[in-house]
Amino acid sequence: MGVQRNDWSLQRKGQIDQDRHAERVRDAIRQNLGSIVSNESIILADGQKRVKVPIRSLDEYKFRFDHRKRKHVAQGDGKTSVGDVVGHEPQPSQGAGRGRRAGDQPGVDYFEADVELDEIARLVFEDLHLPNLQEKAKREVPSRATRFTEIRRTGIMSNLDKRRSLVENIRRQARETGRAHLGPFRPEDLRYRTWEEQQSYESNAVVIAMMDVSGSMGEFKKYVARSFYFWMVRFLRTRYDNVEIVFISHHTEAREVTEEQFFTQGESGGTVVSSAYRLALDVIASRFPPRDWNVYPFHFSDGDNYYSDNDEAVRLADELASTCNLFGYGEIGDEEGPGYRRQSGALLSIFSDRLRNTERFAGVRIDDRADVYPALKHFFRKRGEEIG
Amino acid sequence: MDREVAELERAIERIWEVGRAFGLDPFPTNFEIVPSTVMYEIGSYALPGRYSHWTFGKAYHRMKTMYDFGLSRIYEVVINANPSYGFLLETNSPLQNRLVIAHVMGHVDFFKHNAWFAATNRRMVDDAATHARRIAEYEFQHGRKVVERFLDAVLSIEEHVDPDTFLKRPANGPQAVRAPVPGRYDDLFDPCELPPPPAAAARIDGPELPEKDLLGFLAAHSPVLEPWQRDVVAMIREEMLYFVPQMRTKTINEGWASFWHSRIMRELDLSDDEHLEFAELHAGVVSPHTGQLNPYFVGYRILEDIERRYGRDRLFEVREVESDVSLLRNYLTEDLCEELDLFVYELVDDEAWTITDKRWERVRDQLVANMSNFGFPYIEVADGDHRGNRELFLKHRYEGSELDLRYARKTLENCQTLWGRPVWLETVVDGVPRTLHYDGSDHSES
């Protein structure tokens, strides 16, 4: 019997197992990146640092009762009677832009985990690489750093390295007299520091985000494009000091818009893809010369281009591919499946057949939200000239 | 600090004196003042020094976060052992500590005298530490991930033990007894005394089936487990057997401790301020949780009612023989049901949780039903050689509540991991018998 008070400061068991749990969450996220990447709570997180993501396979499974089919007992406030409703079962909601119908089985198999967005980003980017990255003409940054990097026997007095000079003197005395001590200085004892000017260079990247906003681009298609750009911009920001984004939306005409307009504006009308490519090339030529910039034009469309525009589109796409690091084209199918799409008019197959510069072109088809992650991986896979 | 400790020691002495005078008779108890991190660690592992697993880390993280946000707070953790351990949070006020010490005294008295605890391992803290060392050693030998995945499977069915071994018929029938041959090496260990190795046991459909002790059955008869894996199953089983009495007596145990902390505190010399603080704390502990069921409150009220109706001697009898199930069955009355405003509710039209019954017998019976088998489905091994093919056949003893099928399938996968051969589970779905089957790669049903 008695009271003790011990030093527990080294006790870390809970912390260690908490880390083990975090590791499990990470593994689970890695396995579920496909569905997490296009998850609304992330794409629409709007600057939140932590997000809830649905993760399979992290629950602790037991033989347990189905609580929905069971009778329970609880306590009231003293005034309850038979027939009172004490609560509502949360109904599976059908959120905007939601992929599958809520009734579909997989939706139930989720465990929500609270995760740092950066953590997810790190995992998403693990497999991504910068395609065709080139050392661009160095643009000097305004700040120029001076660092002393070397020691020499000659130099100016103000840069004398006293400590090393003393050491040299003692070493010389030791050599000459057999005893290590400080004696009179001679010029050969003296050591000077020298400096180097370091110029650091920014590597810059610009994303030309192009999107078809013609009448046929519905909510789902815009959402897919949005998820894609969300991750792409984030990814490029981890690799470049400075990432600029230019938003171009087009139907039969193209124009540069703000980010907000880009993702929200609904338009209508037909599709002339070449208008967007032409504008992109103009923007690149006037503001982001490929000599100085790594340029990543990406274009999302449903591929229903006017037939008469296809030749021009192919020609300009080729030009984009040869002036930029990578030209990406994503063709977004209909959520309900490839159904009625006119195969003949589909740009993706035309590009695949007719583009000459295929090395710097990446085309991918997205029919489902789960395709976004594979698309990212496809665009940013390891390629020939890739560095880092 | 020393002054604080000395003061606490005096308080313990006083509280023990008062409690003893009331008739409480606890094990000796060591108290320890710990920081919140340690408190939440012990709270989430349920025992100090237990083995490592991510599920504990998850619980720890959740509890600590709740504490950091000021949403919940553990004042005390008490460990059933002889001597017992009581952990006090270092930020407790002197009055909180006194209440906690009195509460702990109630628990420890209950551990010592309640019949369901008679068979518990009172050295579990030491054994748990030994288990932790062995499991750490296995992690070293076989790799952390391997052990972790194995523990995942075992923990998924850890509740399926048979705590009532004393009700069991003798497991093995008549056995041939070897006539001892006297000799000069009698002091040495006789290898013939070893049971035959489990893999060699030919058929396992003998008198021991059906067997509720799923963990024990797997440890003894699984065709695939390696020795270290059997050892892990056996350790988890032993720890679960230690915890089952606590799971079975949550309401009565908390009721008992709350009853006594309130009685003991009334005997102490408290200042007006302390009286107020005590009243507030006590009201917080034994408050009704509308829409839920607070075991502290329900247990406390039932015990008070028993004392009122039958006197204090009966109360001590109750603490000796009852579990939650029997306490409610024997002592939950119509008046109490009404006073506590208990009701039965269920999901109507998949949408609204609705009160469907307030008749007190129905309420009582439902409460008892939900507490049976400490709240878990009753699963037993019906056959270890199903279809003559060493397949494991489990039976859910359906008593009106259906299983969560998604969970059942996932758990069945874990059973398959442990058994190594196809597994079956017979249950009832929508009122109709159904058998789930998992063969190691695919699920099927019939």
Complex-level ipTM = 0.87
Split at pLDDT 50, 70, 90, the class of B135 is very high
Of the partner residues A8, A65, A89, the one whose CB lies closest to the CB of residue B401: A65
Return the pLDDT at B146: 96
Cα of B412 to nearest chain A Cα, Å: 8
Q: Beta-carbon neighbour count of residue B110 at 10 Å? A: 27
Specify the pairing of strand A2-4 against strand B29-34.
Answer: parallel
Report CB contact under 8 Å: A66, B396: no
Instruction: List the alpha helices (DSSP H) in chain A.
Output: 13-31, 33-37, 40-43, 117-125, 162-177, 219-239, 259-264, 273-287, 310-323, 347-354, 372-379
Split at pLDDT 50, 70, 90, the class of B26 is very high
CA B218 to chain centre: 20
| DSSP state letter for A252 | S
Chain A residues near residue B345 by CB distance under 8 angstroms: 71-74, 86
pLDDT at A48 > cutoff 70: no
Return the pLDDT at B11: 93
Interface test with A, best of B289, B344, B348, B407 (most A CBs within 10 A): B407
- Span A164-185, average pLDDT: 89
Return the pLDDT at A213: 83
Return the pLDDT at A200: 54
Return the pLDDT at A204: 75
pLDDT at B73 > cutoff 80: no
Report CB contact under 8 Å: A60, B55: yes
Return the pLDDT at A104: 33
Q: Does A10 touch chain B (CB under 8 A)?
A: no
Specify the CATH number for A203-379; select among 3.90.700.10, 3.40.50.410, 3.40.50.2000, 2.60.120.380: 3.40.50.410
Q: Does A340 touch chain B (CB under 8 A)?
A: no
DSSP per-residue letters across B211-239: BS-HHHHHHHH-SS--HHHHHHHHHHHHH
* Residues B244-271 pLDDT 10s: 999 999 999 999 999 999 999 999 988 9
Report CB contact under 8 Å: A62, B64: no
Specify the pairing of strand A139-152 against strand A192-202.
Answer: antiparallel
Quote the tokens at residue A231: 């991750």
Q: What is the number of CB-based contacts under 8 A between chain A and chain B?
A: 216
Q: Does A114 touch chain B (CB under 8 A)?
A: no
How far apart CA A43 and CA B190 sit, in angstroms, is 69
* Residues A341-388 pLDDT 10s: 444 447 888 887 877 777 788 888 888 878 888 888 888 877 654 443
Interface test with B, best of A62, A84, A85 (most B CBs within 10 A): A62
How far apart CA B335 and CA B302 sit, in angstroms, is 11
How far apart CA B238 and CA B121 sit, in angstroms, is 9
pLDDT at B15 > cutoff 80: yes
Split at pLDDT 50, 70, 90, the class of B58 is confident
Return the pLDDT at B125: 93
> Is the Cβ–Cβ distance between A207 and A247 less than 8 Å?
no
Interface test with A, best of B68, B404, B436 (most A CBs within 10 A): B404
* Residues B339-380 pLDDT 10s: 999 999 999 988 889 999 999 999 999 999 999 999 999 999
**Residue A115 DSSP SS3:** strand
| Residue in the structure block whose two tokens are 């088809």 | A365
* Domain boundaries, given as residue ranges, for chain A: 15-59+110-120, 141-200, 203-379
Report CB contact under 8 Å: B342, A73: yes
Return the pLDDT at B190: 66
How far apart CA A387 and CA A133 sit, in angstroms, is 6
Q: What percent of chain A has pLDDT over 70?
A: 78
Q: Does A193 touch chain B (CB under 8 A)?
A: no
Report CB contact under 8 Å: B30, A14: no
* Residues B96-107 pLDDT 10s: 999 999 999 999
Higher pLDDT, B443 or B174: B443
Chain A residues near residue B293 by CB distance under 8 angstroms: 73-75
Q: What percent of chain A has pLDDT over 90?
A: 7
Return the pLDDT at B312: 93
- Span B24-48, average pLDDT: 92
Higher pLDDT, A381 or A77: A77
| Residue in the structure block whose two tokens are 């390696």 | B226
Q: CA separation (Å) from B340 to A79, B295, B315?
A: 10, 12, 20
Chain A residues near residue B407 by CB distance under 8 angstroms: 59, 61-64
pLDDT at A340 > cutoff 60: no
- Span B327-332, average pLDDT: 95
How far apart CA A305 and CA A271 sit, in angstroms, is 5
Report CB contact under 8 Å: A108, B406: yes
Return the pLDDT at A129: 74
* Domain boundaries, given as residue ranges, for chain B: 2-114+249-331, 338-374, 376-445
DSSP per-residue letters across B45-112: HSSTTPPP-HHHHHHHHHHHHHHHTTS----EEEE-SSSEEEEEETT--HHHHHHHHHHHHHHHHHHH
> Is the Cβ–Cβ distance between A236 and A209 less than 8 Å?
no
pLDDT at A56 > cutoff 90: no
How far apart CA B138 and CA B227 sit, in angstroms, is 11
Report CB contact under 8 Å: A61, B58: no
Cα of B289 to nearest chain A Cα, Å: 7
Cα of A77 to nearest chain B Cα, Å: 6
